């Protein structure tokens, strides 16, 4: 049984982030174990909630999140030769409430950049075993080069963003941001899924529920892909068929009906 806050006045966005994080940390889903993964949500135009460093998602409580300022977090990107101590001090200074003891996740800069993409209000980063089986393989990049089935496109978008292995923290945040901006320019919308080589998955959603749906579908697609490799390799949808699903009105209607758009 997950811990639930007994506070009537908990911030509704924090409440949604809490539930989303506990769901993503459910061991039965195999998305993240122990202290793996981190999550965030836009609180207002100036601040966002992000998971504290070292906290387990499965049992996370409101105190497991830290509210930080976008401007101070993003200021770290402008600092040359930033070392670990510099990042730690910068994130400490970014806390909306300096009295809070918990330390923001080392991936806080990445979350700030993801929450700045068009229409993104919630972000969930996990290390699902099925996804990492692909991302830790010799064939990671070619394995994720196409779409496998229609619902993958409906939930996960026309294509994922792929980022070769990069040092966690600010260097990874820069690499992911550059790749997300490239995706936005090519497809006219923010990515739903970022896949990081030898690392894991990021789901970007308008709502907490969408982040859970994207993660669930990305994990299913990874399992289908692993099965397809056992039978001679994936047969990707033709790009024209994938594009049609991405843009056809009935799929748009389904996305709206599910509250995705």
Q: Which is nearer to Zn ion, 165 or 187 (CB)?
A: 165
State the nearest-atom distance from the C-beta of 203 to Zn ion, in Å: 13
Q: How far is the CB of 210 from Zn ion (least distance, A)?
A: 20
Strand 193-196 relative to strand 161-163, pairing = parallel
For residue 200, the minimal CB distance to Zn ion (Å) is: 5
Residue 213, both tokens: 């749906």
Q: Which is nearer to Zn ion, 16 or 132 (CB)?
A: 132
Nearest approach, Cβ of 108 to Zn ion (angstroms)? Answer: 12
Nearer to Zn ion, 124 or 200 (CB): 200
Nearer to Zn ion, 67 or 199 (CB): 199
Q: Which is nearer to Zn ion, 38 or 213 (CB)?
A: 38
Nearer to Zn ion, 48 or 148 (CB): 48
Residue nearest to Zn ion (CB): 200
195-214 footprint of Zn ion as x/- string (CB under 5 A): -----x--------------
Alpha-carbon gap, residue 204 to 260, rounded angstroms: 11
Q: Are strands 200-205 and 122-126 parallel, antiparallel or unpaired?
A: antiparallel
Contact characters 122-161, Zn ion, x per CB under 5 A: ----------------------------------------
> Taking the CA of residue 208 as centre, how many other CA atoms within 13 Å lie in the half-sphere pointing to its CB?
19
Cβ of residue 110: shortest distance to Zn ion, in angstroms? 9
Backbone φ and ψ for 171, nearest 5 degrees, come out as -60, -40
- Binding-site size, Zn ion (CB under 5 A): 1
Tokens of 138: 């010799």
The C-alpha atoms of residue 216 and residue 124 are separated, in whole angstroms, by 11
CA distance between the termini of the chain? 31
Q: For 95, which DSSP code?
A: B
Instruction: Give per-residue burial for 37-49: e unless 16+ CB within 10 Å, then b.
Output: bbbbbbbeeebbb
Which tokens sit at 153? Answer: 């496109």
Helix, strand, or coil (residue 48): strand
Q: Would you list the DSSP string of 96-140?
A: SSTT--SPBPTTHHHHHHHTTSTT--EEEEE--HHHHHHHTSTTH
Give the residue with the Cβ less far from Zn ion, 191 or 200.
200
Piece in contact with Zn ion (CB under 5 A), picked from 145-153, 177-185, 192-200, 225-233:
192-200
* Subset of residues 214 to 233 that bind Zn ion, contact rule: CB under 5 A: none
Question: To the nearest whole angstrom, how small is the minimum distance from the Cβ of residue 238 to Zn ion?
Answer: 33
| Site residues for Zn ion per CB under 5 A | 200
């Amino acid at each position: 049984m997950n811990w639930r806050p007994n506070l009537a006045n908990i911030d509704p966005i924090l409440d949604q982030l809490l539930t989303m994080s506990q769901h993503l940390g459910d061991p039965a889903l195999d998305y993240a174990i122990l202290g793996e993964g981190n999550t965030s949500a836009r609180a207002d135009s100036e601040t966002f909630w992000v998971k504290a460093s070292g906290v387990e998602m499965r049992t996370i409580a409101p105190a497991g999140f830290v509210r930080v300022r976008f401007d101070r977090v993003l200021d770290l990107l402008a600092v040359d030769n930033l070392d670990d101590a510099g990042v730690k001090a910068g994130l400490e200074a970014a806390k909306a409430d300096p009295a809070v003891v918990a330390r923001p996740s080392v991936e806080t800069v990445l979350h700030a950049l993801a929450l700045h993409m068009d229409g993104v209000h919630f972000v969930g980063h996990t290390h699902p075993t099925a996804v990492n089986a692909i991302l830790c393989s010799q064939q990671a990049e070619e394995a994720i080069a196409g779409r496998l089935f229609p619902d993958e496109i409906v939930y996960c978008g026309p294509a994922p963003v792929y980022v070769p292995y990069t040092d966690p923290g600010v260097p990874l945040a820069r690499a992911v941001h550059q790749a997300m901006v490239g995706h936005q320019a090519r497809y006219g919308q923010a990515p739903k899924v970022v896949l990081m080589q030898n690392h894991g998955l990021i789901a970007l959603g308008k709502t907490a529920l969408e982040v859970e749906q994207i993660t669930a579908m990305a994990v299913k697609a990874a399992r289908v892909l692993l099965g397809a490799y056992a039978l001679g390799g994936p047969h990707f949808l033709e790009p024209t068929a994938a594009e049609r699903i991405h843009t056809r009105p009935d799929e748009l209607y389904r996305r709206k009906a599910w509250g995705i758009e």
